[in-house]
Every structure is written in structure tokens, then in C-alpha cells.
Amino acid sequence: MLKLLKLLKDGRFHSGEALGAALGISRSAVWKQLQHLEAELSLPVYKVRGRGYRLAAPLSLLDVSAIEGAGTGRLWPMHIHEEIDSTNAEALRAISAGRQAPFLVLAEHQSAGRGRRGRNWSSPFAQNLYYSLVLRIDGGMRQLEGLSLVVGLAVMRTLQSVGVNAAGLKWPNDVLANGRKIAGILLELVGDPADVCHVVLGIGVNVNMQTNSEVDQAWTSVRLETGQQVDRNQLVALLNENLQVHLERHRQSGFTDLQAEWEQGHLWQGCAVSLIAGVTRVDGVVLGIDRQGALRLQVEGVEKSFSGGELSLRLRDDS
């Protein structure tokens, strides 16, 4: 079906005869593949007698050559999948199989995309960015301090560079725009964090998605924020470059070099919040983050710090 998608990705009409000739199949076989596109990938196909078939909207399909051509930074080996359970899961399998880091896993569609705390991450075909970068970490725990926040900072800068001026951070792993979630980050670690380990930097960005009934929270996308169709290959290249810059700063100077910049991008700085940990709720005011990336709250006049994990941060009604 990928060959058919490449012919239709421009969003223009193509006759069944022309599609069949290009694919070397009959018009009836073209029709069957079009039905599969709609059923399996939820891609609406318009059919007009005398004009042929076209997708409801153009598609930006991922392509290694296009990503390499759009970027200026150092290139990581890339593996693009048409469909996979999740890019993080594939990255973890590749680590177990002995693939040498660094490397990048991308997908057009995830059948079991994962967010934080085991939540499902909706992953419509060729609409968004499903991105997992694998790094080898040497030198122990210091290299991991604040790492998820560093990734969030790189994602925010990438979104701002493509016109999402309202993009900002929500501790610990979300990027919001106008109060709605536009990107999320999931880090997974394997190996010995005190010696040598591998970390998977999983990033999901809502790019060209305009409707989605599966998402149970307020969300937005780059296209909804800017009104423009986004070339996902260019977005991958920009994200690669921003990650390289921020990860190198983190490697050389630690999280303290990025702490103030992260706080400047934190949308809830100074806000009244509730921190949820299981059945426990802590109410306080956000003071910032510490040198390890933990959240600093003023709770009943006393400053307290909270690390990540299973914590959930929410704005209070009285904020």
C-alpha cells in the first residue's frame, strides 16, 4: 500500500487507470487497495467519476533522503517503519539485539503508541511525529539528571522555529500551546545507570492532525496552531539539530547550564498547582526546578522538591 500512498500523497486526483499502470495491477486491484487504505489506516479517499481518486488531504511521508537533505547537523542512523507497535518498543528491541547507539527509530503509524504512566498515545498514519532516539550513556547518573527536561526544551525550540510561538513547557514531560498538549516525551532506561546504560528518548509531536476522537484531553497540533501543512521530514531534521545542541550542552555542563532557560519556558511558573501521586494530593505554588530537574513547590510556606515518576501536575481551580 505504501507505493499507492506515494502516488496519492500530493492530494490530487489520479485515475484508476493511471494508478493501475503505475503499480502494474488492474483497476479492480487498485480499488481493493484503496478500500484497505480507508479501513486499516483511516485515510479518507475521495472518489469522483471521471476524475478518479484523491486523499482528503496531502500526506508528508517520511523519507531518509529528504530528512538528510533538510538537515545541517550530524546525522544519526535512521530506521523508518510504515507501521510498528511503538517506536520506543522497537528501540528497546534493537538495543537487546545489539544495535550500536546512537540511532533513531521513526514510524508512520503506531498500533500501540505509549505515553507516560501507561497511557495510550494516539498515532494516526502519516499525521504526526513518532520519534525515538537511542543514546549510550557513560559516566553514571550525572548524565541523566534533568535529561527529560532537556529533551522538552529542544522540542519546544523546534516548535517555536516552525511558527508555534505559544509553545511552552509543563513539568515534567509535556509541551503545550495555548493550554493544549502538542507534544509529549517518554524516556526509558536499560542497563546500569551507575555505569553504562542506554536511554530511549521517545517523542510524540502532533503535526498535521486536525481531528481525533480518541484523545481524551485538550490537544492541538502544529497545523492547527499555524494554519499550515507541515513537511514532517523538515520537522525531523529541525528536531535532530535542536536535540544535538541541547544534548551537547547537557553533556558538557550538566543540567545547571539549562535550568534557567527551562524555567523561562515553563508555562506554570508561579502558578498554584496540585501534585497527584496515586491517592495523595499536594497543593502548592510552583517555584521552579532544582539542579536535578525536580519540581520545587511552596507548600504551606515551606519549599519542597518532588521528582518525576508517577507524579501528575495539574493547575488548581484557584490559580
* Catalytic residue numbers, as ranges: 116, 181, 314
Q: Is 170 annotated as a binding residue?
A: no
Whether 32 has a binding-site annotation, put simply, is: no
The residue among 210, 204, 164, 182 whose CA lies nearest residue 58 is 210
Q: What span, in angstroms and rounded, lies between the C-alpha atoms of 242 and 273?
A: 30
* DSSP structure class, residue 77: P
| DSSP letters spanning 132-200 | EEEEEEESSGGGGTTHHHHHHHHHHHHHHHTT-TTEEEETTTEEEETTEEEEEEEEEEEE-TTSEEEEE
- Distance (Å, whole) CA 311 – CA 209: 28
**181 among annotated binding-site residues:** yes
Q: Is 86 annotated as a binding residue?
A: yes
Does residue 110 have a known ligand-binding role? yes
Rounded CA gap, 149 and 109, in Å?
26
115 a known binding residue? yes
> Do 155 and 173 form a contact (C-beta atoms < 8 A)?
no
* Known binding residues for biotin: 86-88, 110, 114-116, 181
